Amino acid sequence: MLVALDHVQLAAPPSSEDRLRSFYVDALGLVEIPKPPVLARRGGVWFATADGCVQLHLGIEDPFRPAKKAHPGLRVQGIDAFAQRLAAHGAPVVWDDTLPGHRRFYSTDTVGNRLEFLEPLT
């Protein structure tokens, strides 16, 4: 029986860790979490919310191809302020009003992976 989603992994190109840190820490407000040493040798970087409830893992893939359709859907509070924060960091913000009961927008990380941000309407 499934009980929770542990993490989502996205691909990243070789030597992109610093660009990823800039986006996921500075723009999204996540914290970097240490990878186990045996996995750290493969490169990549892991991030989580401060409480650890949401984790995103970025693994190195060569050759790399960004996810243009597949994406994590990340629930946020205060979606307008969050969109402004991403835009202030140079990330694209593309609003989409086609999901009933939600406000949402799409963006991409610094290596081109698609990300969805959504907030349920009350």
> What are φ and ψ of residue 19, in 5° steps?
-65, -40
Cα 34 from Cα 36, distance rounded (Å) = 6
Instruction: Tell me the pLDDT tens digit for each residue of 85-105.
Output: 999 999 999 999 999 999 999
| Per-residue pLDDT, 26 | 96
Residue 122 has pLDDT above 90, yes or no: no
Distances (CA, A) of 81 to 46, 72, 76, 88: 25, 20, 10, 10
Cα four-point dihedral sign 53, 114, 97, 31: positive
Average pLDDT of the chain, as a whole number:
96
Instruction: Tell me the pLDDT tens digit for each residue of 45-93.
Output: 999 999 999 999 999 999 999 999 999 999 999 999 999 999 999 999 9
> What are φ and ψ of residue 85, in 5° steps?
-60, -45
Question: The whole model's pTM is what?
Answer: 0.94
Instruction: Tell me the pLDDT tens digit for each residue of 10-29.
Output: 999 999 999 999 999 999 99
| Per-residue pLDDT, 4 | 87
